[in-house]
Chain A
Amino acid sequence: MTDWLGMVATPRTPRPELKGRVLERARTRRRRWPLAVAALLVVGAGGAAWWAKRTIDQLTVERARLATRATALEDTVSTFIHGGGTELLQIPVSTGGRVGSVTIFADSVGHRWLVRCDGLAPNARDQTYQLWFITETGMMTAALMPMDQDRPMVMALEMPGGNVRVMGAAMSIEPRAGSASPSGPVVFHRML
């Protein structure tokens, strides 16, 4: 019976234009398309959110991977530079008519090399730089260093195991797949 309580309120005369507004709104058929648009927007927003989350997750993983790699590299470089058994070799080179350098941090304690190449001319498509260890028994391949872009290159190398004694380093230009022994133009040849 409390439904009748509304009648307690003092009646008020609506503004005359209100009636027209009400009837007009009542006559207007409810359009369904706003619902469809809303649904599409919701789906779109959901898709965008999913895509954004996926991208963020991927980037987070990539960032973590790069951070780990950077830390490892920093650690490696620090070990090379500050290690007691590290010997520094700086070798001026000339490739493709330009002057560059190859810097080798040779860690005799850790049996590793850190090699940095600056100013090397990019290789032809079918060629690569190949680094060699000079040992008592001959040349042993150390690494393939294809240079497709004109930018510095850094790489860490494990020295040959066993009783192989490394006496120096050399670099030559070889076919892209590398060679078993130097066959192309020599970039440098240096004894430790």
Chain B
Amino acid sequence: MTSPKRLSQELASSLVRRLKERDERALEELYDVLAPWVLGVAYRILQDEDEAEEVVADVFVQVWRHVDQHDTRRGPLVPWVLSIARNRALDMLRRRRRWWRKGERLKQAQASEPMKAEGEGEVAHESSVPGWPVHREVHAALAELPEEQRRVVTLSYFEGLSHREIAQRTNQPLGTVKTRLRMAHQKLAERLRHLKDWLA
């Protein structure tokens, strides 16, 4: 496995500092590196290219305007940006009341594109984007989870379902869902502990 390129603490701090200083070049750099991933998250949730691009625009504008809210001591920059993307995409999903339709599309998409690995289809084409090694690591960590844990994580993260909604969707007791999520998070945390940040 190729080791992901890391973003040193100094470099991450420098990028954040430049953003805070309103250095537009820093925003461009961040966009060049992260836009494909932000779009990937948004598209995965929304299954709609136009809506996903709208989310991308919202995310980077929010990062630009609210970078002061990011504390490098509390976490890396990339997960912070991705969490904004996720939240925005889920908001859009809920706001437009296309929940069920998106759910159906998501199921179809997942059925036709189940956990692709590097070298398959468009993934091979995208493998040149920065951050790809991290993608592989996170992908592998998720793939290593038992199916039932992976499913609850996916429902929680990409569909934004509450524990109760996941229990209804999977026909499992609420306690079981909570246990599976807790165990999955523990395993992911252990597996991805070494990740700090990355940049090409």
A residues whose Cβ falls under 8 Å from a Cβ of B = 1-15, 18-19, 21-23, 25-27, 30
Contacts and interface: CB of A to CB of B under 8 A. Distances in A.
Interface string B35-79: 111011101100000001100110011001100000000010011
B131 A7 contact: yes
Contacts of B28: 19, 23
Contacts of A8: 44, 135, 138-139, 142
Given A23-B27, A26-B60, A10 B122 contact: yes
B48 to A, nearest CB: 12
A27 B61 CA distance: 9
A23 to B, nearest CB: 7
B153 A2 contact: yes
B99 interface: no
B7 interface: no
B135 A5 contact: no
16 contacts: A2-B153, A2-B185, A4-B78, A4-B138, A4-B195, A5-B138, A6-B40, A6-B157, A8-B135, A9-B37, A9-B158, A11-B40, A12-B40, A22-B57, A26-B64, A27-B24
A21 B28 CA distance: 12
B57 A21 contact: yes
Contacts of B113: 10
Contacts of A25: 57, 61
Contact of A22 (B56, B153, B158): B56
A133 B24 CA distance: 98
B contacts with A: majority SS: helix
B178 to A, nearest CB: 14
A10 B153 contact: no
B134 A3 contact: no
Nearest to A17: B53
Given A4-B134, A7-B78, 9 more contacts: A2-B188, A4-B188, A6-B40, A7-B135, A11-B40, A18-B56, A21-B57, A23-B31, A26-B64
Contacts of B85: 6
Which of the listed residues A1, A6, A19, A26 has the most CB atoms from chain B within 10 Å of its own CB? A6
Contacts of B75: 3
A174 B157 CA distance: 93
A10 B44 CA distance: 8
Contacts of B52: 12
Contacts of B153: 2, 5
A11 B129 contact: yes
A35 B16 CA distance: 29
Contact of B157 (A2, A12, A15, A23): A2
B12 interface: no
Per CB-CB distance, the 7 closest pairs between chain A and chain B, nearest first, are: A3-B79, A6-B82, A11-B36, A1-B189, A9-B40, A9-B44, A26-B64
A22 B40 CA distance: 16
Contacts of B132: 11
Interface in B149-174: 153, 157-158
A11 B185 contact: no
B107 to A, nearest CB: 16
A116 to B, nearest CB: 66
A30 B65 CA distance: 9
Nearest to B50: A15
A21 B142 CA distance: 34
Given A4-B79, A11-B135, A26 B65 contact: yes
Nearest to A12: B39
Which of the listed residues A1, A9, A14, A19 has the most CB atoms from chain B within 10 Å of its own CB? A9
A18 B57 contact: yes
